[in-house]
């Protein structure tokens, strides 16, 4: 959510930003909120003046009563009562107008960074750089579900019976490899100075609307029936929500935390072959990182954060690339974002395994996350980034470490988490 002062002072900038995001249908909202804001401030001024006059006149009543000037006192009482009614009407109108202003402000997109490439959708995202040489071995790489099934590592049929499409059982060494990736990501971030956390896996609606846009919430979140609770789609939601309505001491900044959670999303599997696999599922696990910092530090943190993910995947012997998200692919709260994509030797293309975003003060403004400085309180900046998410990361690891004999090589950094095991053998 942007600062309404930006609309008061520079409507042109706000409209240009909306056009860059190809959301022209929102352009009339800028003028609407501008006019509503003028009316609200007029009401505020009129209400303040009436209250001051009412208080002044109320002060006279006691003196008149004391002087036994009953008629004059009663006349002033009538005027005071009339003023109280006017004030109540103004306050009601102001409340209704402020409600509409908030509705509009929640859908006007955040101002994107000047460096963001302009494009309509994810097909126009821009490759920035590659890390590691993408290799296609001479032998065939099977579909990841077939590799996993060959080592007895997955049971989607049983999950279909217990839970339905989009769920899975991971078994044996594959389940252990999945957990090894998450645990390595946790320890990697702790070594970088991040505080480890396990957050609540459910959050209230006001936290949901604080961390994401309403369309995102509707598309992603599972709501608990008859409860003001949603299952989280990522631990970023509850980690940023942890600081709701807090004034953080400047000496405690920056706050950098890494968090583990299961994640729940309304994503259905795609048709055909992919339904057998783990690309699109309703439940997965993730190690996340968040930063809350001074506004002037957020871009430096953004650059550090996505590079941590690159380093982790390179340690897994997985080639990756950084893909800059274009304006039309950015969620409304984001200032700048990039995806980290892993190489798939089977498909001979890259696919997303992580995403890094800076949201400026949008989430902080919605949730009331502030610090106190020399010139008063101000909103902080928030950032988030995927450390490692499985099963997406697991798919990348399996494909890039698949051997011709059907075994899966275990990257050196993960071997301590696998009891020293160096590879997972295919079952005879």
Choice between 54 and 114, residue whose per-residue pLDDT is larger: 114
Local confidence band at 343 (pLDDT 50, 70, 90 cut-offs): very high
Over range 377-402, report the average pLDDT: 96
User: What's the pLDDT score for residue 271?
Assistant: 42
Local confidence band at 62 (pLDDT 50, 70, 90 cut-offs): low
User: What's the pLDDT score for residue 1?
Assistant: 83
Over range 41-60, report the average pLDDT: 87
User: What's the pLDDT score for residue 270?
Assistant: 41
39-43, 73-77, 231-235, 320-324: the lowest-pLDDT one: 73-77
User: What's the pLDDT score for residue 275?
Assistant: 61
92-96, 256-260, 275-279, 374-378: the lowest-pLDDT one: 275-279
CB 313 within 8 Å of CB 320: yes
Domains in the chain: ranges and CATH: 4-105 (1.10.287.40), 122-424 (3.30.930.10)
Local confidence band at 374 (pLDDT 50, 70, 90 cut-offs): confident
Q: Tell me the percentage of the chain whose pLDDT exceeds 70.
A: 97
Choice between 117 and 69, residue whose per-residue pLDDT is larger: 117
H helical segments located in 222-321: 235-241, 298-315
DSSP letter for each residue of 25-87: GGHHHHHHHHHHHHHHHHHHHHHHHHHHHHHHHHHHHHHHHHTT-HHHHHHHHHHHHHHHHHH
Residue 344 three-state SS: strand
How does strand 247-248 pair with strand 370-373?
parallel
Query: Which two three-digit tokens encode residue 46?
Result: 């009129």
Decide if pLDDT at 278 tops 80.
yes
Over range 312-339, report the average pLDDT: 97
Over range 2-9, report the average pLDDT: 94
User: What's the pLDDT score for residue 269?
Assistant: 42
Decide if pLDDT at 280 tops 90.
no
User: What's the pLDDT score for residue 53?
Assistant: 86
Decide if pLDDT at 389 tops 60.
yes
Local confidence band at 272 (pLDDT 50, 70, 90 cut-offs): very low
Residue 351's closest CA among 379, 384, 318?
318
The mean of the pLDDT values for the chain is: 93
* Residues 140-157 pLDDT 10s: 999 999 999 999 999 999
* Residues 78-127 pLDDT 10s: 888 888 899 999 999 999 999 999 999 999 999 999 999 999 999 999 99
DSSP letter for each residue of 167-181: --EE-HHHHHHHHHH
């Amino acid at each position: 959510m942007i600062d309404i002062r930006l609309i008061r002072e520079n409507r042109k900038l706000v409209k240009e930003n909306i056009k860059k995001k190809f959301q022209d249908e929102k352009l009339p909202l800028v003028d609407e909120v501008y006019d509503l804001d003028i009316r609200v401030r007029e009401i505020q001024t009129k209400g303040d003046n009436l209250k001051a006059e009412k208080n002044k006149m109320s002060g006279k009543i006691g003196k008149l009563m004391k002087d036994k000037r009953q008629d004059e006192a009663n006349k002033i009482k009538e005027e005071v009562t009339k003023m109280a009614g006017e004030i109540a009407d103004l306050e009601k109108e102001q409340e209704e107008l402020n409600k509409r202003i908030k509705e509009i402000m929640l859908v006007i997109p955040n101002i994107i960074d000047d460096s963001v490439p302009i494009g309509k959708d994810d097909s126009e995202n821009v490759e920035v750089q590659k890390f590691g040489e993408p290799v296609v071995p001479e032998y065939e790489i099977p579909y990841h579900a077939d590799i996993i099934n060959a080592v007895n590592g997955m049971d989607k049929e049983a999950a279909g019976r217990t839970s339905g499409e989009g769920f899975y059982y991971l078994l044996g060494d594959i389940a252990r490899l999945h957990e090894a990736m998450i645990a390595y990501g946790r320890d990697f971030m702790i070594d970088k100075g991040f505080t480890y956390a396990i957050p609540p896996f459910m959050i209230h609606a006001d936290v949901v609307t604080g961390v994401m846009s309403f369309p995102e919430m509707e598309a992603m979140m599972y709501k608990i029936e008859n409860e003001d609770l949603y299952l989280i789609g990522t631990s970023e939601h509850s980690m940023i929500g942890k600081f709701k309505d807090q004034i953080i001491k400047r000496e405690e900044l920056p706050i950098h935390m890494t968090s583990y959670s299961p994640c729940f999303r309304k994503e259905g599997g795609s048709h055909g072959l992919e339904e057998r696999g783990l690309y699109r599922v309703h439940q997965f696990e993730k190690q996340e990182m968040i930063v809350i910092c001074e506004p002037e530090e957020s871009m430096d943190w953004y650059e550090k954060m996505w590079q941590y993910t690159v380093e982790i995947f390179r340690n897994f012997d997985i080639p990756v690339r950084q893909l800059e998200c274009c304006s039309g692919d950015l969620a409304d709260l984001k200032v700048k974002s990039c995806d980290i994509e892993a190489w798939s030797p089977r498909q001979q293309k890259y696919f997303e395994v992580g995403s890094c975003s800076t949201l400026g003060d949008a989430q902080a403004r919605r949730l009331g996350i502030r610090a106190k400085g020399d010139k008063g309180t101000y909103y902080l900046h928030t950032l988030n980034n995927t450390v490692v998410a499985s099963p997406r990361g697991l798919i990348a690891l399996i494909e890039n470490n698949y051997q011709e004999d059907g075994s899966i090589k275990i990257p050196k950094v993960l071997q301590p988490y696998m009891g020293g095991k160096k590879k997972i053998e295919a079952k005879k």
